[in-house]
Amino acid sequence: MIGTVTLNPAVDRRYNIDKFEIGSVKRTKNYSASAGGKGLNVSRVVRMLGEEVGAFGFLGGSTGDYILNELEKLEVKSYFTKIQGTTRTCLNIIDEIGDNIEILEKGPIIEEEEVNSLLSKFKKAITKFDIITISGSIPLGVKDNIYGELIHIANKNNIKTILDTSKGAFIENLKASPYIVKPNKEEVESITGISMCSEENIITAAEKILELGAKNVAISLGAEGMYFIGVEGRFKVNIPKIELVNAVGSGDSSVAGFAVGFSQGLDIEGVLKLANACGISNAMEKNTGFIDPVVVKDLTEKIEISSL
């Protein structure tokens, strides 16, 4: 089974309106709600690839119940820790010409005993998992090194981890030696200060991230594919051109592909093909964190891996 960690999940609400007008009342039939947060996108894509998932994190209030219900429909096993606070809601309002406004709640403050409860749940269940993915931001009240603590527990049990987060949460937790980190172009530039304008720079930045503690680094470059450097080898992933629909969630989909690839025992080239095929397939879909398994299979045959 694949384990996912989403410490700061959200109910994502989308409303489509005709146009923005200050002071007006808008009525719409075109709206939706979904279980959001990067780790929940990973969970959904793993399920779409047919593998079992157990999801960890914090949930509370009626929004938390909504997410639990959505996870049940997806047949994701819940290892969530119940909290006193209320899981956040994130709002996206879009008009007819595609302009939008996003309102992101900061989310609940997590109490110390809730953090301890999550850690003991994780320790107790860890041996059930082949691989753990850790995604997204760290909620209020939780120390920046929480991901490092989870990675230590996984490492002690010889279980691989994939870390996909940014800013302080990324740098602080690299010391714990995650098996893979998956920063995108902008994240690598902000962490290393190196511009991703040439292959030489990309490799230098990757090596800098390895020096900080990661075992492997996958630098994802959107339509330009991916560089992967670390103990598994040094590769450039060349991907086919596609008609872009919506690339939001492509990184999460590629994390799901990595997790499924390793858990199925594919060799590293197979893992890289699956991870990128999932990212590309998501970019061809309207919904965030969605893939088409038939398209994924077709794409894996069109992706080329070259050694660096």
Nearer to ligand ADP, 154 or 280 (CB): 280
Q: Is 130 a catalytic residue?
A: no
Q: Taking the complex as a whole, how short is the minimal distance between the CB of residue 154 and ligand ADP, in angstroms?
A: 22
Q: Which of 234, 225, 136, 220 is nearest to 185 (CA)?
A: 220
Q: Taking the complex as a whole, how short is the minimal distance between the CB of residue 250 and ligand ADP, in angstroms?
A: 3
What's the rounded Cα separation, in Å, for the pair 197 and 193?
Answer: 12
Sequential DSSP letters for 211-273: HTT-SEEEEE-GGG-EEEEETTEEEEEE------S--TTHHHHHHHHHHHHHHTT--HHHHHH
Nearer to ligand ADP, 4 or 184 (CB): 184
State the residues that interact with ligand ADP by CB under 6 A.
184, 220-223, 225-226, 239, 242, 244, 247, 250-251, 254, 276, 279-280, 283
Q: Taking the complex as a whole, how short is the minimal distance between the CB of residue 299 and ligand ADP, in angstroms?
A: 9
What's the rounded Cα separation, in Å, for the pair 85 and 69?
Answer: 18
Q: Taking the complex as a whole, how short is the minimal distance between the CB of residue 10 and ligand ADP, in angstroms?
A: 17
Nearer to ligand ADP, 212 or 221 (CB): 221
Task: Spot the catalytic one: 12, 252, 292, 298.
Answer: 252
Sign of the torsion angle spanned by Cα atoms 32, 33, 39, 45: negative
Q: Taking the complex as a whole, how short is the minimal distance between the CB of residue 185 and ligand ADP, in angstroms?
A: 7
4 φ/ψ angles, rounded to the nearest 5 degrees: -120, 145
What are the residues whose beta carbons fall under 8 Å from the beta carbon of 233, sequence distance 6 or more?
268, 307
Nearer to ligand ADP, 63 or 220 (CB): 220
What's the rounded Cα separation, in Å, for the pair 276 and 274?
Answer: 6
Query: In DSSP terms, which residues pair with 228 in a beta bridge?
Result: 218, 235
88 φ/ψ angles, rounded to the nearest 5 degrees: -75, 160
Q: Taking the complex as a whole, how short is the minimal distance between the CB of residue 115 and ligand ADP, in angstroms?
A: 26
Nearer to ligand ADP, 53 or 280 (CB): 280
Nearer to ligand ADP, 61 or 222 (CB): 222
Residue type, position 155, single letter = N
3-state secondary structure (DSSP) of residue 51: coil
**Tokens for 152?**
């230590």
Residues catalogued as catalytic: 252
